Amino acid sequence: MVIADALRGATARLASVSDTPRLDAEMLMAHALGVSREAMLLSAPPDAVPAGFEPLLRRRLAHEPIAYIVGRKGFWTIDLAVTPAVLIPRPESETLIEAAIDHFGSRAPGRILDLGTGSGALLLAALAQWPEAAGEGVDLSRAALVVAAANAWRLEMEGRARFLRCGWKGDPRADLILCNPPYIGADEHLPPSVARHEPASALYAGADGLDAYRLIAPLLDFAPGGVACIEIGATQAAAVSALFAEQGFAVALRRDLGGRDRCLAITR
């Protein structure tokens, strides 16, 4: 079978498990060939389908996310390694970086803290945005911290980013706090690709999905003139805003590109 035929067949098979079956098929084929998707599409591929393609396709048909299969995911301006130890970075979370840029304007934060850093996505994206900044990413998962530290090294940011095993405590020296906590309610339905494969500790936060915010709000602290940009679920703006308002903070809501409530920009 030639590659063009294999891609058509894979696209048809993936239609039952993916909203982007052709894209998935191309990414899996490129991974099996050991090249980028762009390089595969722009060059004349070999006629023979690589032996590794079918096993990769079967993993995707079992709802395993593409990012875990190929081991990487793009976020903001950077490319990150990801494993099942960390939540897959999503475009919606880039809303937090956009909110921070709007807050600081022509200024730049000097010190950044990423609470629940996972892959290091938010911290490393912010460090890419502000090359003079430095920061810390904290997480309770040792496996996640290994992934984050490896990403910092790969992006040549290891001198500006450090990673610590720690909970939700704020930092009075931080100009910018970024946080994408777990916010899924215990009984909420998630797609199989998420529920079966992504780490539960990064997804679920009690019966109503608010447990992490209840812990974060009284511990939140940052430098004067700073901001905390915190991700929320699309129906949680009022409830989460109230938790931070009770602590004396001002709260502004920001929506993602899909028009969904996504980020709270919290200031004093």
CA distances from 50 to 2, 26, 45, 64, 266 (A): 10, 13, 11, 20, 50
Question: Which of 215, 211, 260 has the alpha carbon at shortest distance from 234?
Answer: 260
Provide the strand spans (E) within the chain: 72-75, 78-81, 111-115, 134-139, 161-165, 176-179, 227-231, 250-255, 261-267
Same domain, 86 and 58: no
Q: Does 70 map to a domain? A: no
Does position 27 have pLDDT exceeding 70, yes or no? yes
Both 102 and 201 in one domain: the answer is: yes
Domain boundary (19, 40, 62) is at: 62
Torsion of CA 224, 228, 229, 234, to 10 degrees: -130
Same domain, 172 and 213: yes
Are 108 and 226 found together in one domain?
yes
Given a contact cutoff of 8 angstroms between Cβ atoms, the answer to whether 101 and 127 are in contact is no
* CATH of residue 50: 1.10.8
Sequence-ordered list of residues with C-beta below 8 angstroms from that of 147, at least 6 positions apart, any chain: 81, 82, 83, 85, 86, 118, 119, 120
In a domain, 179, yes or no: yes
Query: Does residue 247 form part of some domain?
Result: yes
Cβ proximity of 266 and 230 under 8 Å? yes
CATH of the domain at 164: 3.40.50.150
**Does residue 1 surpass a pLDDT of 70?**
no
Using CB atoms within 10 Å of the CB of residue 158, give its burial: 0 to 12 exposed, 13 to 18 middle, 19+ buried.
middle
Reported confidence tier of residue 209, pLDDT bands at 50, 70, 90: very high
- Residues 26 and 128 grouped into a single domain: no
Other Cβ atoms less than 10 A from the Cβ of 85: the count is 21
Q: What is the pTM of this model?
A: 0.96
> Residue 61, class by beta-carbon neighbours within 10 Å (0-12 exposed, 13-18 middle, 19+ buried)?
middle
DSSP secondary structure code for residue 21 in this structure: H
Q: Do 232 and 126 fall within a single domain? A: yes
Task: For residues 54 and 89, state if they share a domain.
Answer: no
Which of 21, 36, 62 finishes a domain?
62
pLDDT single digits (tens) 112-160: 999 999 999 999 999 999 999 999 999 999 999 999 999 999 999 999 9
117 with 178, same domain: the answer is yes
| Residue 109 counted as domain residue | yes
Answer yes or no: is pLDDT of 11 > 90: yes
User: Does residue 67 lie within any of the structural domains?
Assistant: no
Assess if residue 69 is contained within a domain.
Answer: no
- Within a 13 Å sphere around the CA of 244, how many CA atoms are in the beta-carbon half? 27
Residue where a domain terminates, one of 14, 41, 62: 62
Q: What domain range is 179 assigned to?
A: 75-267
Residue 68 lies in a domain: no
Rounded Cα–Cα distance for residues 196 and 19 (Å):
18
Count of structural domains, the chain:
2
Residue 142 falls inside a structural domain: yes
Q: d(Cα 51, Cα 65) in Å, to the nearest integer? A: 20
At how many degrees (to 10) do helices 53-61 and 3-14 cross?
10
245: pLDDT strictly greater than 70: yes
Please tell me the predicted confidence (pLDDT) of residue 43. Answer: 86
Which pLDDT score is estimated for 47? Answer: 74
Quick check: 231 and 219 in contact, CB under 8 A? no
Does 232 lie in the same domain as 105?
yes
Indicate whether 21 and 108 sit together in one domain.
no
Tell me, what's the pLDDT at 61? 98
Position 46 scores a pLDDT of: 76
Tokens at residue 62, please? 């079992």
C-alpha–C-alpha distance, residues 1 and 162, integer Å: 48
Same domain, 31 and 130: no
Please state the rounded mean pLDDT for residues 210-236: 98
Residues in the chain: 268
Pair 145, 171 in one domain: yes
What are the distances in angstroms from CA 125 to CA 41, 82, 97, 181?
A: 28, 15, 8, 17
Looking at the DSSP assignment, which residues form a beta bridge with residue 253? Answer: 264
Both tokens of 235, joined, read 């129906």
pLDDT, mean over the chain: 97
List, for residues 45-96, the tens digit of each pLDDT value. 777 899 999 999 999 999 999 999 999 999 999 999 999 999 999 999 999 9
Using CA atoms, how far apart are residues 116 and 138, in angstroms rounded to an integer?
6
